Homo-oligomer: A and B are copies of this chain.
């Protein structure tokens, strides 16, 4: 263990991150919960899952992508119809103007692709009929794709978890503890929620080399039956903690990143959802405690959870920090 010759902590090697000091850049977990990592060495299309990218894309981007796809396919087929001869589109008003012809071919294409098929324009001749037959087939496949994508987007399990911006170094029983808190912000509900917390620290090993080591941080409560209200996750700073006795300066110098991983069963998705987040030194607040974020309703019939108070805290005296405490 880094800061104390006496207490020994077992570093763990199963966090999925490397322990060498200089291979990883930046923080390990980005603020959106993804791992800070990029991959090379395979072509883009093999490195990406198109389906899942379309699932994770924002709503706006997704609609634009689908609309762009619809337009491009219509343009392509319109060009094919023109190539096959505009006179093979019965009902069209032929014009010397290519743009007007294209326009009409484009709308015939869209009527075919969506299978609306009014029929005031209809295909004739082998080639044009084949193109139209192919296009309506493409339309059906595309429709199937869109159905699957929309369904996939709605049913993709997400944790809908809100966590506090800061990790507080707060009073706890007779001593102190690190605390953050989480709530579910939608009308969903998690059960059997488990938190796993590890700390990444840069220390000097026995050979004098700067290395990164990972240590688990024990929690007051590791698993809750139900995440209905807010959950304040508490890591007591006692002798079980690798941070016990460290000063603020030592914590800063160790370039810590405290990695949270939450997992629970969500009743919306009837599936396991998970969320990853982390705090670095600059996101820690020393000498503070959270304010309550729920209260009884005025008519005393229900409980109100105030989601906008997730970050509300007030200064608090912390014994261990008595000398170095900075009231924020």
Interface residues, chain A, with chain B CB atoms under 8 Å away: 13-18, 22-26, 34-42, 46-49, 51-53, 66-67, 70, 74, 90-91, 103, 107, 110-112, 114-123, 126, 129, 132-133, 136-137, 139-141, 143-152, 154-157, 160, 185-189, 191, 196, 198, 220-221, 223-229, 231, 261, 263, 265, 267-274, 292, 294-297, 299-309
Across the two chains, which residue of chain B brings its CB closest to A103? Answer: B126
Across the two chains, which residue of chain B brings its CB closest to A301? Answer: B26
Query: Which B residues lie within 8 Å of A188 (CB)?
Result: 49, 52
Q: Select A302's contact among B25, B120, B154, beta carbons within 8 Å.
A: B25
Query: Which B residues lie within 8 Å of A40 (CB)?
Result: 304-308
Bound complex: CA of A155 vs CA of B185, how far in Å? 24
Query: Which B residues lie within 8 Å of A226 (CB)?
Result: 15-17, 35, 261
Query: Which B residues lie within 8 Å of A133 (CB)?
Result: 74, 107, 110-111, 114
Bound complex: CA of A107 vs CA of B88, how far in Å? 14
Further pairs besides A42-B185, A117-B119: 9, Cβ < 8 Å: A16-B228, A40-B305, A41-B307, A47-B187, A52-B268, A114-B140, A116-B136, A140-B143, A198-B225
Q: Select A41's contact among B49, B126, B143, B309, beta carbons within 8 Å.
A: B309
Min distance, Cβ A35 to any Cβ of chain B, angstroms: 4
User: How would you classify the secondary structure of chain A's contact residues: helix, strand, loop or mixed?
Assistant: mixed
Q: List 5 A-B contacts (CB under 8 A).
A: A13-B221, A26-B302, A114-B133, A118-B122, A265-B272
Query: Which B residues lie within 8 Å of A187 (CB)?
Result: 39, 47-49, 52-53
Bound complex: CA of A120 vs CA of B137, how far in Å? 19
Bound complex: CA of A226 vs CA of B34, how far in Å? 12
Q: Is the CB of B49 within 8 A of A268?
A: yes
Q: Select A47's contact among B16, B38, B74, B185, beta carbons within 8 Å.
A: B185
Bound complex: CA of A261 vs CA of B116, how far in Å? 50
From A123, A261, A302, A306, residue with most partner B Cβ within 10 Å: A302
Q: Select A23's contact among B139, B191, B221, B303, beta carbons within 8 Å.
A: B303
Bound complex: CA of A70 vs CA of B40, how far in Å? 40
Query: Which B residues lie within 8 Å of A123 (CB)?
Result: 107, 118
Min distance, Cβ A157 to any Cβ of chain B, angstroms: 4
Q: Is the CB of A261 within 8 A of B191?
A: yes
Q: Is the CB of A15 within 8 A of B224?
A: yes
Across the two chains, which residue of chain B brings its CB closest to A297? Answer: B25
Q: Is the CB of A16 within 8 A of B231?
A: yes
Bound complex: CA of A144 vs CA of B265, how far in Å? 28
